[in-house]
Amino acid sequence: MKITRFLAVLFIAFYFSTGIFAQKEGIDFEKFDEYSAKSMKEWKIPGMAVAVVQGDSIVFAKGYGIREFGKSGKVNTKTLFSVASNTKSFTAAALSQLVDEGKINWDDKVIDYLPWFRMYNNYVTGEMTIRDLLCHRSGLKTFSGDLLWYETNYSQDEVIKRARFLKPEYGFRSHFGYSNIMFSVAGRIIPEVTNETWQQYIKTHFFTPLGMESSLLTVKNIKDKKNAAIPHHIAEGKNPLPLKYMQWDNVAPAAAIISNVEDMSKWLILQMNDGVYKGDTILSKKQIYEMHSAQTPDNMNPGWAKYFPGKHFNSYGLGWALFEYKGLKVVNHGGGADGMISQTMFVPEKKFGIVVLTNSINYLPTALMYYILDDYIGEPDNDWSAFFLKVKKYVDNLDKQDAEKAEKERNKNTKPALELKDYCGTYGGDLYGKAEVKLENGHLVLDFLPSDVLIGDLSHWQYETFKIKLRNSPTLPEGTVNFIIGADGKVEELKVNIPNPDFDFTEPEFKKISK
């Protein structure tokens, strides 16, 4: 569709139970519709919703597929999905309002509002600003410390306090490192300044004035909603497996929002129109510009960049990712939860954007973002879905090769140095807390005690290393648990490594504290 003509024509909206279409002269929505439906089937996604916005209107919106595999409920434009990290732009926007009100400044020190806040380095603790929190330049590596909040019983404050034990990967302000916990810190400043919880503030200042009536701020309320998509895990050669929603209240300012394409479209319309929605100024033009401006460079991998000849720069603003594509400034963000992927994107100067919500882990939202960008520019269509399917196949093949290589190189003729019962006991660390190793039916089990669901079955791999597979987390791959034996011949420590592209599970080191 030639979206460049949108400003020259008048649209007529038709409302259906499964979609909203705006038919325009010369605009071929059927092509985009067919491509979206075809691509969803190629990715074996159970359900998806898509919306395109232009100016101050939704010009295309439709639901595809089903809310839950094996059931008949269809996705429509009001179906709820976890938008995960798309929450971050709301937290940044809330703080921008407080900047305009003179209650805070972007470059205020965090400890001026949260005196108990600490980082691993005392200098960083004292110098960390609100701006630093929102643009991922704390010095922590990407996803550092996510195991602290991932399905744990720790409160938001407890997660933040334990982050002081996270060792930095980079120099302060020297490198991009995506941090959910730092965004939680940013959101925690809001109640200190306003006497409103983060949830109350977001609802009062954004959901209500924008008419985002369906959107939720906690997963606790999803059980009452009939029109909600269910997360899924899709393993190779198997049917989609429905999952439960994750409990993310302890990192809410980074990832808690659950919404639909109609509501999220209103959010994009606000952002594209310099903070104005239906004549009401909700965000100032000055702060919109600040949030949409590059704050931290995020260098493109040369090997990856060759597939995007029209993409020249990556950076991060305040709650938004930014890049330049074929002469267009693109503001966007992705969101990933267990069993759900989302994407929002808009081009500020052209006032057009897209929202894609899905209920499985896949790259299609990103593919549709590039598809619509190319379509807008009027260049020949690239089959981005096919490209990202090849990327997935390539990555899956690398993982398979790594697993085969590890299997070939491991020493199968070793056995644990100790009796299994001698590995049992309670282990503890400053960062994560306690974990318990116990015997069940002749094999070891590792129970992450701050969580009610993170329990892993261990099987011997080689020497003092055991494979671990988490029982209740099918989206996570197998990892390893390495036991360290001291000079006295007894276990004194264990280290956990669960590789995962979305969360970091490599931090914890547990010292043995009891038998």
135 is written with which tokens?
Answer: 């643009």
Give the type of residue at 262: E
- CA nearest to 98, candidates 266, 278, 284, 249: 284
Phi, psi (rounded to 5 degrees) for 183: -70, -30
Question: Does the pLDDT at position 2 exceed 50?
Answer: no
Which residue shows structure tokens 């503890």? 428
Question: What is residue 207's three-state secondary structure?
Answer: helix
Give the type of residue at 18: T
First to last CA, the chain: 67
pLDDT tens, 371-411?
999 988 887 678 999 999 999 999 889 989 998 999 999 99
254 vs 248: CA distance, rounded Å:
9
**Which of 345 and 479 is assigned the larger pLDDT?**
345
Per cent of the chain over pLDDT 70 is 92
Question: What is residue 333's three-state secondary structure?
Answer: strand
Least confident of 9-18, 48-57, 69-78, 82-91: 9-18
Please give the model's pTM, rounded to 2 decimal places: 0.92
Query: What does the mean pLDDT of the chain come to?
Result: 91
Whether 427 and 438 have beta carbons less than 8 Å apart is answered as no
Question: Does the pLDDT at position 294 exceed 90?
Answer: yes
Q: For position 500, what pLDDT does the model report?
A: 66
Question: What is residue 22's three-state secondary structure?
Answer: strand
Query: pLDDT band for position 5 (50/70/90)?
Result: very low
* Buried b / exposed e along 323-341 (16+ C-beta atoms within 10 A): bebeebbbbbbbbbbbbbb
Rg (CA), the chain: 24
Q: Domains of the chain (ranges plus CATH)?
A: 3-98+184-397 (3.40.710.10), 420-514 (2.40.128.600)
Q: For position 17, what pLDDT does the model report?
A: 37
373 is written with which tokens?
Answer: 């960008």
pLDDT tens, 121-156?
999 999 999 999 999 999 999 999 998 999 999 999
Q: For position 250, what pLDDT does the model report?
A: 96
Question: Does the pLDDT at position 22 exceed 50?
Answer: no
Q: How far is CA 292 from CA 310, 330, 336, in A?
A: 20, 9, 21
Question: What is residue 204's three-state secondary structure?
Answer: helix
